[in-house]
Amino acid sequence: MIKTKKQGLLIVLSGPSGCGKNTICNALKEINHNVWESISMTSRKIRPNEVDQKDYYFVSKEAFEQCIQEDKMLEYASFAGNYYGTPKEAVQKQLDQGKDVILVIEIQGALQIKEKLPQALFVFLLPPSMQELRNRLEKRKTESEDKMMERFQIAYREINELPKYNYVIVNDDYHVAAKKLDAIITAEKCRVDRIEEVYLNNEEEKIHETLVQKDLENTPIDITKQTPKK
């Protein structure tokens, strides 16, 4: 009866570094096979556990700046001294194929998307507490003590931007958090403004016409002629 937009949904997932965005995104992809995660580009150095072109496209600062010049980025930001950004072309291709595209990005980039594409879905992930966030960052051991503290300070600033998002999820259990994100996506896809067309088949069309005809035959209600009750 209804035809919804074929184009996929653009989902922006943000939250402080260390709050579990990637874990939740991976868990989401296991339960929702229509989600495609964009691979970002960064000028940050590759970590021992990372794979180029899977975790990120690792490029030099100069190569990143060249992509900005050539207007190849959907958004980009400088975070803790490095560039991070979303290459435009792949995202557009997946959206056009009906895939729901998720961008796991920090706040400055998310706000650029909001300016350009306010119809996207903006979800903010929070750690259960700031102490827990600090524990997770310390346990990860991916940064030096200084860099870790810098990320922790950025986290406090980022949380102030929460009201600019549509939804918030607290990550105290990643399975539950991924299910919540999936439920948000499902709800968003049922929105009336995603309907392109409402149509009836032949039989339904006939019933519809009969009902409309009956309606026309009924005497119209004229509220100006109603006498008030005593």
Nearest residue to ligand 5GP by CB is 109
Question: Least distance to ligand 5GP from the beta carbon of 191, Å?
Answer: 26
User: Rule CB under 6 A: which of 24-83 touch ligand 5GP?
Assistant: 40, 44, 75, 77, 79
Q: Which is nearer to ligand 5GP, 56 or 100 (CB)?
A: 56
Binding letters toward ligand 5GP, positions 160-189, x by CB under 6 A: ------------------------------
CB 94 within 8 A of CB 77: no
* Dist CA 8 CA 194 (whole Å): 10
Segment interacting with ligand 5GP, rule: CB under 6 A, options 28-36, 101-109, 115-123, 178-186: 101-109
Q: Is residue 88 close enough to count as binding ligand 5GP by CB under 6 A?
A: no
Strand partners for 40: none
CB 114 within 8 A of CB 165: no
Shortest distance (Å) from residue 110 CB to ligand 5GP = 7
Return the residues of window 107-146 that contact ligand 5GP according to CB under 6 A.
Answer: 108-109
What are the structure tokens assigned to 201, written together?
């088949």
Give the whole-angstrom CA distance, residue 79 versus residue 150: 10
Query: What is the C-alpha to C-alpha distance for residues 164 and 159, in angstroms, rounded to an integer?
Result: 10
Rounded Cα–Cα distance for residues 58 and 170 (Å)? 30
**Integer Cα distance of 197 and 94 in angstroms:** 23
Binding positions for ligand 5GP, rule: CB under 6 A: 17, 21, 40, 44, 75, 77, 79, 84-86, 104-106, 108-109
